[in-house]
Amino acid sequence: MWARRTFKRYNQTIDDMPGTGAELAEHLIERYKLDVTVEQAGAEGDHYDPTSKTVRLSEQFFNTKSLSAIAVAAHEVGHAIQHHRNETMLNTRTKLARLALYAQKFGTVVIMAMPFVTAITKAPASGLLMTAIFLLSMGMAVIVNLITLPVEIDASFGKALPILIEGQYVHEDDLPAVRKVLKAAAYTYVAASLASLLNLWRWIAILRR
């Protein structure tokens, strides 16, 4: 809610701004000679896709001339720069995210199969083992989100903010607002981490019944 409120607050159109979020992203991609494309995002929202090398911006930022639009665009290009430079933390996050996706799918299959396996084997230990496997698979999401946080902070304050300041893409008076937007973009994953922990706790509570 805080992040959305911040994005909305600073997403007011500024007529004399040189370009939209998408135009700034394309300009920075050309400036840093990145092999990356820019697209309008769907339901998944603003993100950088390292697989297809695509910066995707939501509709509210893609065609908008606002502080939120250019800050979010610079943040996502920051991820593209991390990828271009082959930075370890982004590579680790990407690999773990794929692993977590497979682990969660496997965990779902395991928990659905547990009653049948326990009934067939008539061994309580098999149920305990399968429960442990399921909880470990759910815990992968927590680990991924914790690793994602420093990656996001670097994209905002190690990449985007210096780019916006050095390139004079925003007025000095607007920098405090831009910092707030970049902070919201980075700390969105704090909420994701907490949600992952709550989801894991919920499953532990259900399985203890």
For 158-186, write each residue's pLDDT tens digit: 999 999 999 999 999 999 999 999 999 99
Q: What is the mean pLDDT of residues 133-143?
A: 75
pLDDT at 132: 80
The domain containing residue 183 runs over which residues?
2-208
pLDDT bracket for residue 192 (50, 70, 90) = low
Q: Which residue has the tokens 């991390």?
A: 82
Does pLDDT of 146 surpass 80? no
Percentage, residues of the chain above pLDDT 70:
94
pLDDT at 62: 96
Of 119 and 71, the structure prediction assigns the larger pLDDT to 71
User: CA 163 to CA 75: how far, in whole Å?
Assistant: 10
pLDDT at 193: 66
> Of 26, 39, 44, 76, which one is the catalytic site residue?
76
The total of structural domains in the chain comes to 1
Six token digits for residue 76: 């996502």
pLDDT bracket for residue 207 (50, 70, 90) = low
Q: How many residues does the chain have?
A: 209
Helices (H), the chain: 2-9, 21-31, 59-62, 67-84, 88-121, 124-153, 161-166, 175-208
User: CA 74 to CA 80: how far, in whole Å?
Assistant: 10
Catalytic status, residue 76: yes
pLDDT tens sequence across 40-89:
998 888 999 999 999 999 999 999 999 999 999 999 999 999 999 999 98
SS3 call for 33: coil
Does pLDDT of 191 surpass 90? no
Going by the DSSP 8-state scheme, the letter that residue 28 receives in this structure is H
pTM: 0.80
pLDDT bracket for residue 123 (50, 70, 90) = confident
